[in-house]
Amino acid sequence: MKFALKGEVEATADLTSLADKIGKLIEEANNTILKRGAPSEEQAAKIVEFAVKGKKVEVCIEGTRFVRAHDALKRFKNFLARNLERYRIGVRRVFVPEYLIEVPGSRERFDDLRYYPLVKEIEEMNGTVKILLRDVDEGVIDRRDIDRLVKLVQPEVRTIQRELADKVGLVIERSVEKPVKFFKDPTEEALRLKWIARFPGRGQWYYLPAFTKLMNTIRDIVFKEVSWKLGFIEAVFPKLIPIEIAFRARKIQGEPGGMYYVCAPRFREKERYKPFQVLAEITNELPMEELKKLLEDPGYILDPVQCLPFYYLYYKATLRKEDLPIKVVEASGPTYRYEAGGVKGVERVSEFWRVEHVWMGLKEQVEEIRDQVIERMKYVVDKLMDVEWRIQFAGDTFYLAEDQRVDEDIDIPQQPKLELQIWLPYKGGRDNEGAWLACGSFNLHGNHYTKLFNIKCATGETLYTACFGAGITRLAIAFLAQHGFNIEDWPEEIKRSVGKLEFLPGVK
């Protein structure tokens, strides 16, 4: 990679009379501060041209991946400021009218950079892509935009997809084949029997008493056989998450189209809403444009993963080793996702119920707990629910999108996500990938969250986190897909716990 910029360093007074001295300072900078961090002289940055014009020193800097041109400019600014103090001249700012980055590759790989407003041109020539930025101010440099841009254009950016490509889709373990009792679409049958009812919202349903009782039974079994037996402590987390927390967790950057955003009212005074109210009353229509004027920009998301508040709970905390591991289970409300590929029956919905387990500790502790959770959950689906299941290696980790950049100092576990999948006979045979429904995932995050939320161990050892979400809504519909709706055909543990089914009268 190559870096070259045309930059300006602006002083508080005219520098014309000091042009020769500045020339010598540039020579000194090239031989000292611009070499710092480079393995050799050839890999250092260098000011190759300069001109003094009034209060400005204009420079052309060539940088390398060891000393990038914008870092060299900042070093030179500080170096110049120290040496101008004797003349009672200060340095105000730096500015980069033009910045060229060259990287091997094809243009298509870098097309997304056009969405960054300072990128003005992207050209390919003889296997080299030239990315031209204009009008880069000091705030942009200090915010480290250029460094993050460079990470995106590096020839081999770390992604989950690249590091795990040879494993995704592998079936790790599966149950024995079990007798098939039911072949119908469980959503359609549940509608017919009034176990559920349609709701106008996208991917939302009424879960009527019979279905609710089944869901609650499965939830209680998960609590009893997984959560309590492994020592998880129950807590209640917020579901309305400030957007800044989702941004810190890199959810916004990774899957911005996978969540619901919430806008707070812009005003509290009733008179502000009069135009909206009058229009609504007279037109008998929702005046959406008027409503938009009364709302703030999105300030929250509805929680799509249920464990984000846990990491913020320990934001900037230093934990004692003897207090580890920390294990929490949360099931106080629904999870919200704008599902990829659209919604489908009760299998793929926007609002659903889960039992979320999240834990934190040293690497060995976190991995051991994940193994224990898997074993306990296998017991639940195999012995108590008596459904046919499998565990598959998945690449779509919820905390990083498959193609999202992974920081160099993030430890990606060997098995970051394993999915618990249950067979839906009505969708096809066991060899049909589309006939398996993911009903839970066992996730190892490495140090992704502890780094982003600055959570440390008092001993200096790295802390890791993990989570397991049991999708109660999906487990219920998958159970019905294999066992059907005749309670007498259900396994004994479920039948006994559900007891008598009840129904609401008058449901269409």
In degrees, rounded to 5, the angle at the alpha carbon of residue 162 between the alpha carbons of residues 156 and 164 is 145
pLDDT at 372 over 60: yes
pLDDT at 143 over 60: yes
What would the two tokens of residue 123 be?
């050209």
Judged by average pLDDT, the poorest of 63-72, 84-93, 356-365, 405-414 is 405-414
> What confidence category does residue 406 fall into, taking pLDDT thresholds of 50, 70 and 90?
low
CB neighbourhood size of 488 (10 A): 6
Torsion sign (Cα): 246, 251, 255, 258: negative
Q: What is the mean pLDDT of residues 327-348?
A: 87
Give the per-residue pLDDT at 414: 75
Write out pLDDT tens, residues 445-470. 989 899 999 999 999 999 999 999 99
Q: What is the mean pLDDT of residues 206-215?
A: 97
Report the candidate in 71, 73, 101, 96 with the shortest Cα–Cα distance to residue 6: 96
pTM: 0.81
Q: Are strands 456-457 and 318-319 parallel, antiparallel or unpaired?
A: parallel
Give the per-residue pLDDT at 508: 81
Write out pLDDT tens, residues 491-502. 999 999 999 999
pLDDT at 483 over 90: yes
Torsion sign (Cα): 220, 226, 231, 235: negative
CB neighbourhood size of 88 (10 A): 8
What's at 108, amino acid-wise? E
CB neighbourhood size of 267 (10 A): 12
Q: Are strands 119-125 and 91-104 parallel, antiparallel or unpaired?
A: unpaired
Q: What is the mean pLDDT of residues 403-426?
A: 77
Q: What is the mean pLDDT of residues 87-109?
A: 90
Give the per-residue pLDDT at 253: 81
pLDDT at 415 over 90: no
Residue 249 Cα distances to 21, 74, 394, angstroms: 49, 29, 21
Give the per-residue pLDDT at 398: 60
Give the per-residue pLDDT at 167: 74
What would the two tokens of residue 245 be?
């927390």
CATH no. for 164-259+304-498: 3.30.930.10
Q: What is the mean pLDDT of residues 190-200?
A: 95
Q: Give span(s): CATH 3.30.70.1920, the chain.
A: 2-155
Give the per-residue pLDDT at 403: 54
DSSP per-residue string spanning 34-49:
TTTT-SSGGGS-EEEE
pLDDT at 357 over 60: yes
Distance, CA of 183 to CA of 428 (rounded, Å): 9
> What confidence category does residue 217 fall into, taking pLDDT thresholds of 50, 70 and 90?
very high
- Give domain 2-155's CATH number out of 3.40.50.1950, 1.20.1730.10, 3.40.50.360, 3.30.70.1920: 3.30.70.1920
Q: What is the mean pLDDT of residues 59-87?
A: 93
What's at 450, amino acid-wise? T
Instruction: Tell me the pLDDT of the chain averaged across its residues.
Output: 91
Percent of the chain with pLDDT over 70: 93
Distance, CA of 188 to CA of 186 (rounded, Å): 6
Answer for the pair 452, 162: CB distance below 8 angstroms, yes or no.
no
Q: Give span(s): CATH 3.30.930.10, the chain.
A: 164-259+304-498
> What confidence category does residue 327 fall into, taking pLDDT thresholds of 50, 70 and 90?
very high
Q: What is the mean pLDDT of residues 429-443?
A: 94
Give the per-residue pLDDT at 344: 83
Write out pLDDT tens, residues 220-266. 999 999 999 999 999 999 999 999 999 998 888 878 888 999 999 99
